[in-house]
């Protein structure tokens, strides 16, 4: 299968061993990917611990009758650390995705950010709304701020397109089926990965650098989930031509 090449700078992403031609019944992340996932998860959990710790402080301050600006500052702090934790956790899942075979584990692993965000906020929100010492206006303001902050944090924690080991395996198998190897190309701000480095959608004047790596790395590093339709069509056409030539040679 031909690739005319490109004059752009090609950057090979290290660490993802490309597996050529062989069947891949299940996706297994590399040791490097597992290590990065573990690192991201540790930092994510630490961030959530800080968020929950700030929640405890906010509850104590609420019971002590602290000024409203102090409580609002604590609520904002909880939200920030919860969002950071969620982003890190979702990134870790791209390096080491869960399997869809265990539905419960798959759900918990991918939506843990949202779950922990609820834990970091819900007790505080309930206490604010049920606090008899807060005046109506103060309760309304604090309740609204805490409620909005919780919604933002929970929304940030929800993964609407969670990665799965099966998805990685299927996407990798498709690329290997078309090209015989697990190598794709993508750009810094691209939304799809490509089979050809000279594809017209990445080989443009606006592109200074093209990254090369495995299908999994395109998802890990840039959360790119789809194959370029133009590259896919071109690969299918070239495959049909090669197949036709092979059939003619055997006749």
pLDDT computed for residue 100 by the predictor:
94
pLDDT computed for residue 17 by the predictor:
47
Tens digit of pLDDT for each residue in 37-68? Answer: 999 999 999 999 999 999 999 999 999 999 99
pLDDT computed for residue 238 by the predictor:
85
Give yes or no for residue 23 having a pLDDT over 70. Answer: no
pLDDT computed for residue 104 by the predictor:
96
pLDDT computed for residue 203 by the predictor:
82
Tens digit of pLDDT for each residue in 153-194? Answer: 999 999 999 999 999 999 999 999 999 999 999 998 889 999
pLDDT computed for residue 2 by the predictor:
47
Lowest mean pLDDT among 124-133, 205-214, 218-227: 205-214
In this structure, is the dihedral angle defined by the CA atoms of residues 60, 65, 69 and 75, taken in order, positive or negative? positive
How far from 55 is each of 65, 194, 219, CA to CA, in Å?
Answer: 15, 45, 34
Lowest mean pLDDT among 15-19, 29-33, 218-222: 15-19
Q: CB of 175 within 8 A of CB of 184? A: yes
pLDDT computed for residue 4 by the predictor:
54
pTM of the predicted model as reported, rounded to 2 decimal places: 0.81
pLDDT computed for residue 239 by the predictor:
73
pLDDT computed for residue 136 by the predictor:
85
* 21 band by pLDDT with thresholds 50, 70 and 90: very low
| Domain spans in the chain, listed from the N-terminal domain onward | 9-18+183-250, 31-157
pLDDT computed for residue 124 by the predictor:
96
∠ Cα 47 50 56 (to 5°) = 150
Three-state secondary structure along 10-73? EEECCCCCCCCCCCCCCCCCCHHHHHHHHHHHHHHHHHHHHHHHHHHHHHHHHHCCCCHHHHHH
Tens digit of pLDDT for each residue in 123-159? Answer: 999 999 999 888 889 999 999 999 999 999 999 999 9
Q: CA-to-CA distance for 190 and 184, rounded, in angstroms? A: 12
Beta strands in the chain (DSSP E): 9-12, 184-186, 192-193, 209-213, 226-227
* 18 band by pLDDT with thresholds 50, 70 and 90: very low
Q: CA-to-CA distance for 211 and 73, rounded, in angstroms? A: 42
Average pLDDT score over the chain: 88
Tokens of 24: 């891949």
Going by C-alpha positions, the residue among 22, 27, 25, 26 that lies closest to residue 177 is 22
Q: CA-to-CA distance for 139 and 169, rounded, in angstroms? A: 51
CA 46 from chain centre, in angstroms, equals 19
């Amino acid at each position: 299968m031909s690739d005319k090449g490109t004059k752009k700078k090609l950057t090979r992403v290290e660490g993802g061993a490309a597996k050529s031609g062989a069947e891949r019944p299940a996706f297994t992340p590399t040791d490097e990917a597992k290590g990065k996932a573990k690192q991201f998860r540790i930092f994510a959990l630490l961030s959530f611990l800080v968020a929950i710790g700030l929640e405890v402080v906010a509850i104590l301050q609420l019971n002590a009758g602290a000024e409203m600006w102090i409580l609002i500052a604590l609520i904002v702090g909880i939200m920030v650390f919860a969002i950071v934790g969620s982003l890190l956790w979702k990134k870790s899942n791209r390096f080491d995705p869960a399997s869809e075979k265990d539905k419960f584990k798959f759900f918990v692993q991918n939506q843990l950010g949202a779950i922990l965000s609820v834990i970091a906020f819900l007790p505080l929100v309930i206490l604010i709304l049920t606090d008899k010492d807060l005046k109506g206006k103060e309760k309304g303001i604090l309740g609204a701020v805490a409620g909005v902050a919780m919604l933002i944090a929970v929304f940030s924690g929800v993964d609407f397109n969670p990665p799965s080991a099966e998805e990685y395996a299927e996407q990798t198998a498709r690329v290997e089926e078309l090209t015989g190897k697990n190598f794709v190309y993508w750009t810094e701000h691209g939304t799809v990965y490509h089979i050809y480095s000279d594809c017209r959608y990445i080989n443009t004047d606006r592109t200074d650098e093209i990254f090369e790596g495995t299908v999994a790395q395109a998802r890990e590093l840039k959360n790119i989930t789809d194959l370029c339709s133009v590259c896919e069509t071109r690969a299918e056409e070239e495959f049909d031509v090669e197949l036709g030539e092979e059939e003619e040679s055997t006749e």
